[in-house]
């Protein structure tokens, strides 16, 4: 009988995939590789499965909220992001960082619960087993990478990371989710229930996650601000009671913003206008209560006042209901010197070129003489030290 | 293997492939830095942090056991 070549190929692959690999000589089986080396009775597949489920959910939330933050900052053609609710991004990115921080003790406990399996003997039984272990190694490395890089980022230890955080954290996020799905697809089935001892351990891990949340969530959940002991920023920190990530000095704009020749160039279909601070102050002023919602998970709300962006767009000769505005800083370089304001946000009467914060002239670190503030956008897109606004009408 | 498991594995492989292509093509990625950091966190966790954690918990458990000798059987390494 002639077998179908496809079937024969499959059988060959299967044999190769599951063929036993030679075990290393027994004399190398030392230290943690010895049978019975790990003796804590608290580990069990049931415990590991519970921790895995929690951690999987936490990482799932991080991945989705992170992906959202990414597409808001780099919108593909199909993407649409509203200007309301005003606090939506504050909530999703706050959740990202809160969940990420709470996942740290879950990750520690999960890895503790499976640590003896790192010393499985023989190290690889079959090619399939080796591949599975490789995927697990990738999963563990990616998980640690995300949590460690995330924490270093929010504590602004950028120098400890030999890469550009946002891009690396984004792609390793995909690596983590891919390896995690493979792991969920190949995980062993749960067999036993939870003993009292293990339940207590789970409770301890849950309590650790809860405490971390309690002591950090105040960076964006205002009522918890007084106990935000572990949070890198609190809503009231900084000049004029608002935190700052990039100071005017760090951005190198100090000489430019204090220059009497400072102007905003407003360019649009109707030509180009040059507005000095007096001209901006002479335009109708409006106030808006809006948060600065940082990508790093903190947020702080204040009353901003200044000129509506839609009024400026109209002055530039475009229809404020269907215009795109590119807002540029006087900053010479930097990733965040320009941001594109989509029609939803241009249209919104809460979107301001702000001149004041809580009734005072903006502090240099908050963008003096003028900054963009719009509802429901990441802080990095709220351009400070505005020097040019280019308006296009959407076709 | 159930259908769901197969689907999870296929989606996972797709995610991995997407990640690898992204890491190789994104001009903002410094691949050497990313790989070094991946290796460092993995090795630091498995070879430093976990042994240290186990040493501490084992010590604490032994000390506690000495105080109450009639309690649960003596724990060994972590
Ligand atoms: C302690 C844990 C974590 C912290 C503190 C953290 C922090 C952050 C921060 C600050 C950003 C904003 C980056 C920016 O726009 O400049 C971010 C984005 C992101 N995070 Fe996390 N993160 C953590 C864990 C995770 C985990 C576990 C994942 C899982 C996949 C993840 C996936 C992402 C993704 C995909 C982005 C979008 C990156 C981009 O805008 O390109 N994060 N995270």
Residues A183 and A295 in one domain: no
Residues A232 and A213: their CA atoms lie apart, in Å, by 13
**A203 CB within 8 Å of a chain B CB:** no
Structural contact between residues A292 and A364, judged by C-beta atoms closer than 8 angstroms:
no
Residues A28 and A62 in one domain: yes
The answer, yes or no, to whether residue B66 has pLDDT greater than 90, is no
Residue found by looking up tokens 């991945």 in the block: A63
Question: Of A195, A227, A259, at which residue does a domain stop?
Answer: A227
**B19 CB within 8 Å of a chain A CB:** yes
- What pLDDT digit, counting tens, does each position of A328-383 carry? 999 998 899 999 999 999 999 999 999 999 999 999 999 999 999 999 999 999 99
**Complete DSSP assignment for A72-139:** HHS--TT----S-STTHHHHHHHHHHHHHHHHHHHHHHHHHHHGGGGG-SSS-SBHHHHHHHHHHHHH
Task: Quote the ligand 1 centre to A382 CA distance (angstroms).
Answer: 19
Chain B contacts in chain A segment 204-233 (CB below 8 A): none
Residues A327 and A313: their CA atoms lie apart, in Å, by 11
Domain-wise residue ranges, chain B: 3-65
* Mutation site for B-interface testing, chosen from A30, A111, A181 by largest number of B Cβ within 10 Å: A181
Question: Of A227, A261, A277, at which residue does a domain stop?
Answer: A227
**B24 CB within 8 Å of a chain A CB:** no
Residue A8 domain flag: no
Residues A49 and A195 in one domain: yes
Segments forming the whole domain that contains residue A379: 248-393
State residue B78's pLDDT score: 65
Residue A350 domain flag: yes
Residues A304 and A373 in one domain: yes
pTM over 0.90: yes
Residues A1 and B35: their CA atoms lie apart, in Å, by 51
Question: What is the total count of domains within chain A?
Answer: 2
Name the nearest CA neighbour of A385 among A348, A355, A347: A355
The answer, yes or no, to whether residue B70 has pLDDT greater than 60, is no
Range in A294-303, B38-47, B61-70 the model is least confident about: B61-70
Residues B15 and B13: their CA atoms lie apart, in Å, by 5
- What pLDDT digit, counting tens, does each position of A280-291 carry? 999 999 999 999
Residues A292 and A189 in one domain: no
10-residue mean pLDDT profile of chain A (395 residues): values are: 77 93 93 89 88 97 98 96 97 97 97 94 93 94 98 96 97 98 87 83 96 96 93 91 94 94 96 97 98 96 98 97 97 93 98 97 97 98 98 90
- Chain B residue nearest residue A170, CA to CA: B19
Instruction: CATH number of the domain at A275, please.
Output: 3.90.420.10
Residue A288 domain flag: yes
The continuous run of DSSP H or E covering B65 comes out as helix B50-67
State residue A42's pLDDT score: 83
Residue A85 preceded by cis peptide, ω within 30: yes
Task: Quote the ligand 1 centre to A97 CA distance (angstroms).
Answer: 7
The continuous run of DSSP H or E covering A373 comes out as strand A371-373
Residues A332 and A223 in one domain: no
Residues A153 and A101: their CA atoms lie apart, in Å, by 12
Residues A44 and A177 in one domain: yes
State residue A45's pLDDT score: 87
């Amino acid at each position: 009988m002639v077998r179908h070549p496809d079937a024969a190929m499959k059988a060959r692959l299967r044999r190769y995939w599951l063929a036993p690999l030679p075990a290393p000589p027994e004399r190398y089986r030392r230290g943690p590789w010895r049978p019975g080396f790990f003796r804590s009775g608290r580990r069990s597949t049931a415990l590991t499965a519970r921790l895995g489920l929690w951690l999987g959910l936490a990482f799932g939330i991080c991945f989705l909220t992170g992906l959202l933050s990414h597409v808001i900052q780099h919108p593909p053609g199909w993407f649409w992001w509203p200007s309301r609710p005003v606090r939506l991004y504050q909530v999703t990115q706050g959740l990202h960082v809160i969940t990420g921080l709470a996942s740290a003790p879950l990750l520690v406990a999960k890895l503790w619960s499976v640590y003896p399996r790192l010393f499985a003997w023989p190290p690889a039984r079959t090619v399939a087993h080796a591949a599975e272990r490789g995927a697990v190694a990738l999963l563990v490395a990616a998980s640690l990478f995300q949590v460690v890089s995330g924490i270093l980022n929010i504590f602004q230890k950028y120098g400890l990371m030999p890469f550009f955080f946002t891009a690396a954290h984004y792609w390793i996020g995909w690596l983590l989710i891919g390896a995690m799905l493979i792991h969920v697809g190949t995980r062993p089935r749960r067999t036993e229930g939870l003993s009292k001892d293990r339940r207590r351990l789970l409770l301890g891990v849950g309590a650790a996650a809860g405490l971390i949340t309690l002591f950090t969530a105040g960076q964006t959940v205002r009522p918890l601000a007084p106990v935000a002991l572990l949070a890198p920023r609190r809503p009231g920190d900084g000049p004029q009671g608002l935190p700052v990530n990039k100071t005017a000095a760090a951005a190198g704009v100090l000489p430019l913003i204090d220059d009497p020749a400072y102007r905003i160039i407003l360019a649009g279909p109707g030509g180009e206008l040059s507005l000095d601070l007096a001209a901006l102050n002479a335009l109708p002023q409006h106030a808006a209560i809006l948060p600065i919602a940082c990508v790093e998970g903190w947020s702080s709300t204040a009353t901003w006042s200044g000129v509506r962006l839609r009024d400026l767009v109209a002055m530039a000769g475009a229809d404020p209901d269907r215009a795109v505005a590119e807002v540029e800083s006087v900053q010479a370089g930097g990733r965040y010197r320009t941001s594109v304001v989509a029609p939803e946000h241009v249209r919104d009467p809460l979107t301001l070129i702000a001149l004041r914060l809580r009734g005072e002239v903006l502090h240099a670190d908050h963008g003096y003489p003028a900054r963009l503030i719009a509802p429901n956008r990441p802080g990095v897109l709220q351009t400070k030290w505005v020097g040019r606004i280019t308006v296009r009408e959407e076709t | 293997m159930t259908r769901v498991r197969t689907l999870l594995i296929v989606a996972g492989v797709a995610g991995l492939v997407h990640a690898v292509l992204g890491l190789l093509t994104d001009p903002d990625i410094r691949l050497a830095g990313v790989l070094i950091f991946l290796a460092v966190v993995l090795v630091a966790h498995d070879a430093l942090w976990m042994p240290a954690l186990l040493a501490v918990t084992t010590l604490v458990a032994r000390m506690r056991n000495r105080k109450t000798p009639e309690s649960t059987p003596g724990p060994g390494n972590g």
